[in-house]
Amino acid sequence: MRLTVLDESHAGDHFYIRPEDNCAFLREYTRGRGFEFSATNSLISNLKKPMDRKGRPEWRHKERAIRQAAAELKGAIHPDWLARAVLVPIPPSKSKDNPLHDDRVHKICEHVAPGGGVRDLVIQTQSTRASHESDEGERVTVEELLEVYRIDESLATPAPQTIGIVDDVLTAGTHFRAMSDTLSQRFPDIPIFGLFIARRVFPDVSFEDFGFGPLEDE
């Protein structure tokens, strides 16, 4: 598994990613398709199992998905870069005082960089709407995230040499934009990278999707 760098060919899929941003992904997750559609859809579906499923037999699939995602990401990152970088997980939609708070991305980061290579430099002061549970018009905005994101100053020293913002799925890039802007304001001269287990892609549209059935030769 190798990281693919986002470039201009991906620009239309991720509105808030700018040309100067350094972002890369491992896999492609197809929006609107179920877990059985692909190995990536299955992986992401298991990663996003909600916290109210904890304790049930299915929970082992989430734990396995966390380990798999971490192993793939760690295997794709050069050890020298990882040795000097600080991984910063994007906070989940639910704040830490919420029983549905899901720290799956933090756990992925801890598997990738054990021994102090992970810092929750950005904390979220209140819960927001979960993007994967919201319609397009109801999703949280960059401005709303900037209102609730804060730097945890207790973790800001020493200043990181390099920052890797980590998330499971890149959609529009809303959370990355808010994270990058928050971190670059606090650490203006530190290079920032975005690392994603998968990026969201849209399925090919066919006539069958509109109920016309397959075309036949005349």
Residue numbers of the chain with a pLDDT score lower than 50 = 132, 134, 136, 207, 210, 212, 214-218
Domains of the chain: total: 1
Position 211 scores a pLDDT of 53
Counting every residue written for the chain, the total comes to 218
Q: Is 208 part of any domain?
A: no
| Cα–Cα distance measured from residue 77 to residue 211, given in angstroms and rounded to the nearest whole number | 44
Q: Is 209 part of any domain?
A: no
Position 209 scores a pLDDT of 52
Position 215 scores a pLDDT of 45
Position 131 scores a pLDDT of 59
Q: Is 210 part of any domain?
A: no
| Cα–Cα distance measured from residue 62 to residue 53, given in angstroms and rounded to the nearest whole number | 10
What digits encode the pLDDT tens for the residues 143-159? 999 999 999 999 999 99
Position 216 scores a pLDDT of 47
Contact between residue 109 and residue 120 where contact means Cβ atoms under 8 Å apart: no
Contact between residue 29 and residue 199 where contact means Cβ atoms under 8 Å apart: yes
Position 134 scores a pLDDT of 45
Domain that holds residue 10: 4-203
| Cα–Cα distance measured from residue 155 to residue 145, given in angstroms and rounded to the nearest whole number | 20
Q: Is 216 part of any domain?
A: no
Which CATH number does the domain housing residue 140 bear?
3.40.50
Position 218 scores a pLDDT of 39
